[in-house]
């Protein structure tokens, strides 16, 4: 099920967002969490032109519950940033935690992309002989 990003109750955000829930039923809490995290990405790069988030549980059978798989695709001028995150342990099978971790990875990649666009390069000190 795909959900458009903006509705009458959400704060306006510049990033167009598409959410695909796959085989997980959409809930207001998950939708709000994804919207909140997507809105924060604007702080790290002002020219994100699109964000597509898919969240699902793989169809494998597990003894300790189902992992959650999240894929985020950010579109920026001239490039695309793709992040895939799958919760691994029982502690990370909470959808809110999986969303947070996936967006943290997306933020780091977006910051690196913005740094490269500005021409900033990480410099490492020379090793001491």
List, for residues 46-104, the tens digit of each pLDDT value: 778 889 999 988 765 555 567 889 999 999 888 899 999 887 765 557 888 889 999 99
Q: Output the pLDDT for position 115.
A: 85
| pLDDT exceeds 90 at position 45 | no
The dihedral over CA atoms of 98, 4, 39, 69, expressed in degrees to the nearest 10, equals 10
Q: Which helix (H) or strand (E) holds 106?
A: helix 95-118
- Select the CATH number that applies to the domain covering 2-118 from these four: 3.30.160.100, 3.40.50.800, 3.40.50.300, 3.20.20.70: 3.30.160.100
Q: Output the pLDDT for position 12.
A: 42
Closest CA to 54 of 92, 95, 15: 95
| pLDDT exceeds 50 at position 1 | no
pTM to 2 decimals?
A: 0.75
Beta bridge partners of 53: 19, 72
| pLDDT exceeds 60 at position 5 | no
What are the domain boundaries of the chain? 2-118
């Amino acid at each position: 099920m795909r959900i458009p990003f903006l509705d009458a109750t959400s704060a306006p955000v510049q990033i167009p967002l598409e959410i695909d829930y796959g085989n997980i039923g959409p809930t207001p809490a998950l939708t709000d969490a994804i919207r909140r995290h997507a809105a924060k990405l604007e702080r790290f790069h002002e020219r994100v032109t699109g964000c597509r988030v898919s969240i699902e549980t793989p169809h494998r059978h597990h003894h300790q519950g189902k992992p959650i798989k999240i894929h985020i695709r950010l579109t920026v001028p001239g490039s695309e940033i793709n992040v895939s995150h799958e919760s691994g342990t029982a502690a990370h099978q909470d959808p809110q935690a999986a969303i947070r971790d996936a967006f943290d990875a997306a933020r780091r990649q977006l910051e690196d992309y913005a740094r490269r666009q500005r021409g900033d390069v990480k410099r490492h000190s020379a090793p001491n002989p």
